[in-house]
Amino acid sequence: MLTVFSPDHIRHDPHVEMADGKLVPAVEIPRRAEMVHFAVLEAELGEIIAPDPLDRALVEQVHDASYVQFLESFWQRWLDAGRDPNVDDTFPFVWPTPGLRKVETRHLDGLMGRYSFDAGTPMGSGTWQAVSASAATAQTAAIKVSEGLPHAFALCRPPGHHAMPDAYGGYCFLNNAAIAAQALRNGGAETVAVLDVDYHHGNGTQAIFYNRSDVFFASIHADPMDEYPYFLGHADEIGAGDGEGFNLNLPLPIGTLWPDYANVLSHVLAQIEAFKPDAMVISLGLDTFERDPISQFALKNDDFKTLGAALGGATVPTVIVFEGGYAVDDLAVNAVNTLTGFLD
């Protein structure tokens, strides 16, 4: 399988994040992608290429232009505001929740709140460089598949599936999976299915395609009544307008083991098959693993082989996009198990 990877991900190097009501060591760290990159090399899964430059027009098909401009200009604005140039991690702290207005303020704190939805996503001096390389990784993998490859692995970092049309959060800035899906549409696929198997609901991908019938979004994730992102991902969210019936959420309880997960997965795969997509995007989070430090499903190393095999059963051109997964020392084996299971 072709892998697309950019070493520029290391430019996003957070040290702390907000979790459990306080600042704690960051878990979305460069070593995650380095581990998966090394594992793909070692397993000799195939060629590894660098991404082509990011196509801004493509990004603006799934994100607001003003939001992309904010991400790109953030660090210069930080410096222009006279703030500490040596901080690794910056955080918003005020949001235009319903009843307040999404004003494009002159003040940076207003802008950070306007364009985010949580305080758990540190931004730093090199974040845009890493984020744009990550999005370009998804774009390049999708174009390769549009051009005829049966599948490709976009080794993206930072992850993307929480990123909204106009807001960052959940360690995500640009929605790599949505960019891949849109690139597949632009490349000739009339219909695309996005299957999100990250432990967390892909609220950003859902929001981006919620009113569209050309992209079917399906997600299996921890019940948002008990787990991040809380405010989206519930089973009664079925799409709206033209998109009604083209959004499927399957929340599962904390503690879910592979047999229950597998049952739901086969149901979702049958729904996707009924949709008859021309292409597919898989948001591959490895945080369903039993020893993931921030997650509470209990898939074992070997279960990822079976997961990969199930995902590979759909014989439709597929882009696999790396999302979450924070048990750093097990990412290598879990990634390779999924990808080799997919190929077998």
- 251 binding Zn ion? (CB under 5 A): no
CB of 248 to ligand Q9C, least distance (A): 20
What is the rounded CA–CA span in Å between residue 158 and residue 13? Answer: 10
Give the residue among 98, 173, 99, 94 at the shortest CA–CA distance from 132.
173
Instruction: Give me the least distance between CB of 110 and ligand Q9C, in Å please.
Output: 23
Per rule CB under 5 A, is residue 162 in the interface with Zn ion? no
Those residues with Cβ within 8 angstroms of residue 342's Cβ, 6 or more apart along the chain or in another chain: 1, 151, 308, 309, 311, 312, 320
Question: Closest CB to ligand Q9C among 261 and 275?
Answer: 261
Write out the residues near ligand Q9C by the rule CB under 6 A: 19-20, 120, 159, 162, 170-172, 198, 200, 228, 285, 287, 294, 323-324
Closest CA to 175 of 184, 183, 165: 165
CB nearer to Zn ion: pick between 189 and 335: 335
Taking the C-alpha atoms of residue 279 and residue 331, their distance in angstroms, rounded to an integer, is 26
The item of ligand Q9C, Zn ion, none sharing an interface with residue 294, based on CB under 5 to 8 Å by kind, is ligand Q9C
Residue with Cβ nearer ligand Q9C (224 or 312): 224
CB of 227 to ligand Q9C, least distance (A): 8
Give least dist CB 254 to ligand Q9C, A.
13
Cβ at position 253, least distance to ligand Q9C in Å: 17
Cα gap 114→177, rounded to integer Å? 23
Spatial distance between the Cα atoms of 53 and 129, rounded to a whole number of angstroms: 11
166 binds, among ligand Q9C, Zn ion, none (CB under 5 to 8 A by kind): none
Distance from C-alpha of 102 to C-alpha of 79, rounded to nearest angstrom: 24
As a whole number of angstroms, the distance between CA 219 and CA 209 comes to 13
CA distance 73 to 77: 6
How many positions of this chain bind Zn ion (CB under 5 A)?
6
Q: Which residues contact 100 (CB under 8 A, 6 or more apart)?
A: none
Paired strand residues for 221: 251
- Which of 13, 273 has the CB closer to ligand Q9C? 13
**Residue 228 binds: one of Zn ion, ligand Q9C, none (C-beta under 5 to 8 A by kind):** ligand Q9C
Q: And the tokens for 101? A: 């207005």
Closest to ligand Q9C by CB, 220 or 294: 294
The yes or no reply on residue 287 touching Zn ion (CB under 5 A) is: yes
By CB under 5 A, name the one of 320, 324, 332, 342 that touches Zn ion.
324
Of the residues 162, 200, 201, 221, only one is catalytic, namely 162
Contact 335, 282 (CB under 8 A): no
120 binding Zn ion? (CB under 5 A): no
- Print the SS3 string covering 306-334: HHHHHHHCCCCCEEEEECCCCCHHHHHHH
Nearest distance from C-beta of residue 256 to ligand Q9C, angstroms: 16
What are the backbone angles phi and psi of residue 169, rounded to the nearest 5°? 170, 165
- Looking at the Cβ atoms of 32 and 185, the one nearer to ligand Q9C is 32
Locus of tokens 């999976």: 177
Binding mask 179-218 for Zn ion (x = CB under 5 A): -------------------xxx------------------
Cα–Cα distance between 27 and 326 in angstroms, integer?
A: 6
Is residue 201 flagged as an active site residue? no
Q: Is 258 in the site for Zn ion (CB under 5 A)?
A: no
Catalytic residue numbers read: 162
